[in-house]
């Protein structure tokens, strides 16, 4: 008889590739889950620490799976950064017990023919810019939730629309999991941490901070009393025109349903989102319109873990 791997807490979480081993290791434990595509950074670590705090005596599982289904044909699937040793170290130091690292045939066996598509919140913004992306996300997240069966799953507000899609799917399909959003972790410059920042030089990263400055300009306009959607948007666009080598996908001011409004009310769900290609790399970011909603936002130097008080959809 083979015994299931014994989970370890500490710098080297056990790497599990087989779903049956995962089930055996988790049986009888409270579980908090952080799905990722790896190349872990301080943003992921913040989610993992929040997961650790959510199930003090339980198991924290981090999945590392670069999901082919959520990449378009001309996107960066083949060059997406991969670093399993680094991921083990970051995940372990943040308190993960297990790293689930399935291969593509395990997740998508021959003949795989099911997908989950969430309408509404997944249609505008990244849904329009990346056709099929959120179907890939929803499908893999549902599969991972079924494999891990967590009590709590943590997602970053960095991917605000993704968080909305996951929440809608979990609600619509009655999935027994508590989905929690975690505020975006940023460099001191304001640049949101992202695995894709690894494609950029230090100088390019400094220039990419223009995205967060544009979002803050929208917040400032909103704080100054501006409520017209188009005028709020323009405050952000004015900042982006100062940037070199930027090609904008969208800058949108939206409500909790991800759709633009002519007049924004005072709903804490109101958000400004941006997606742009800079130096050949597609970057996304977002902030609440009301800056105080972001009170929990942390930077790498502060690195405080706090859970968001608002959640999309
Ligand atoms: P990814 O590996 O990019 O798919 O991200 C895995 C999870 O980490 C997602 O829930 C992301 O929203 C979250 N995440 C990525 N970057 C950050 C960040 N800078 N701050 C907070 N969460 C993040």
Judge if the beta carbon of residue 49 lies within 6 A of ligand 1: no
pLDDT band at 301 (very low <50, low <70, confident <90, very high): very low
- Rounded to the nearest whole angstrom, what is the distance from the C-alpha of residue 228 to the centroid of ligand 1? 30
Q: Could you list the active site residues?
A: 44
Nearest CA to ligand 1 atom 11: 156
Specify the pTM.
0.93
CB–CB of 39/195 below 8 Å? yes
Residue 159: CB within 6 Å of ligand 1?
Answer: yes
Mean pLDDT of 76-93: 97
The pLDDT value recorded for residue 8 is 47
Q: 49 is written with which tokens?
A: 């620490």
Distance CA 92, CA 62 (A): 10
Q: What is the mean pLDDT of residues 47-70?
A: 98
How high is the mean pLDDT of the chain? 93
Residue 287 in this model has a pLDDT that exceeds 80:
yes
pLDDT of residue 313: 57
Would the CB of 143 count as within 6 Å of ligand 1?
A: no
Is residue 195 pLDDT above 50, yes or no? Answer: yes
Distance of CA 157 to the CA centre of its chain: 6
What is the band of 285 on the pLDDT scale with cuts at 50, 70, 90? very high
* pLDDT for 309 beyond 50: no
pLDDT over 90 percentage in the chain: 88
Instruction: Work out which ligand 1 atom sits closest to the CA atom of 37.
Output: 2
Token representation of residue 304: 């405080």
* Tokens coding 127: 């849904």
Q: Whose CA is nearest to atom 17 of ligand 1?
A: 43
**12-57 pLDDT per residue, tens:** 899 999 999 999 999 999 999 999 999 999 999 999 999 999 999 9
Predicted confidence at residue 126, as pLDDT, reads: 98
Q: Please indicate whether residue 166, judged by its CB atom, sits closer than 6 Å to ligand 1.
A: no
User: How many whole angstroms separate alpha carbon 143 and alpha carbon 248?
Assistant: 33
Residue 212 scores a pLDDT above 80 = yes
Atom number in ligand 1 closest to CA 41: 16
Kindly state if the Cβ of 95 falls inside 6 Å of ligand 1. Answer: no
Rounded Cα distance between 149 and 143, Å, is 10
Task: Copy the structure tokens of residue 262.
Answer: 């002519």
35: nearest Cα among 73, 64, 12: 64
**Would you say 12 and 88 are in contact if contact means Cβ atoms under 8 Å apart?**
yes
Confidence of residue 4 (pLDDT cuts 50, 70, 90): low
Cα separation of 98 and 148, whole Å? Answer: 11
SS3 call for 287: strand
Looking only at the bridges linking them, the beta strands covering 298-299 and 185-186 are parallel
Lookup: tokens for 33: 């889950």
């Amino acid at each position: 008889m083979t015994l299931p791997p014994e989970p370890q807490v500490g710098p080297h979480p056990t790497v599990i590739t087989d779903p049956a081993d995962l089930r055996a290791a988790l049986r009888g434990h409270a579980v908090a889950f952080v799905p990722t595509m790896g190349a872990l950074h301080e943003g992921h670590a913040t989610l993992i620490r929040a997961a650790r705090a959510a199930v003090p005596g339980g198991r924290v599982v981090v999945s590392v799976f670069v999901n082919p289904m959520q990449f378009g044909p001309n996107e960066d699937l083949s060059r997406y950064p991969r670093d399993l040793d680094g991921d083990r170290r970051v995940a372990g130091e943040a308190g993960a017990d297990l790293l689930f690292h399935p291969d593509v045939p395990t997740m998508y066996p021959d003949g795989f023919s099911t997908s989950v598509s969430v309408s509404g919140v997944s249609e505008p913004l990244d849904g329009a810019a990346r056709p099929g992306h959120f179907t890939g996300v929803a499908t893999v997240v549902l599969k991972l939730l079924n494999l891990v069966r967590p009590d709590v799953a943590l997602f970053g507000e960095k991917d605000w629309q993704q968080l909305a899609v996951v929440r809608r799917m979990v609600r619509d399909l009655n999935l027994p999991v508590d989905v929690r959003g975690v505020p975006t972790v940023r460099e001191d410059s304001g640049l949101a941490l992202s695995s894709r920042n690894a494609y950029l030089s230090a100088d390019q990263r400094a220039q990419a901070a223009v995205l967060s400055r544009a979002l803050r300009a929208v917040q400032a306009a909103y704080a100054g009393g501006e409520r017209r959607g188009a005028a709020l948007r323009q405050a952000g666009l004015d900042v982006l025109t100062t940037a070199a080598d930027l090609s904008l996908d969208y800058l949108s001011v939206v409500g909790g349903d991800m759709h633009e409004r002519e007049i924004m009310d005072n709903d804490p769900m109101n958000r400004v989102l941006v997606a742009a290609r800079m130096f050949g790399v597609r970057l996304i970011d977002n902030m609440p319109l009301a800056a105080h909603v972001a009170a929990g936002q942390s930077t790498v130097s502060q690195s405080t873990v706090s859970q968001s008080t608002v959640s999309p959809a």
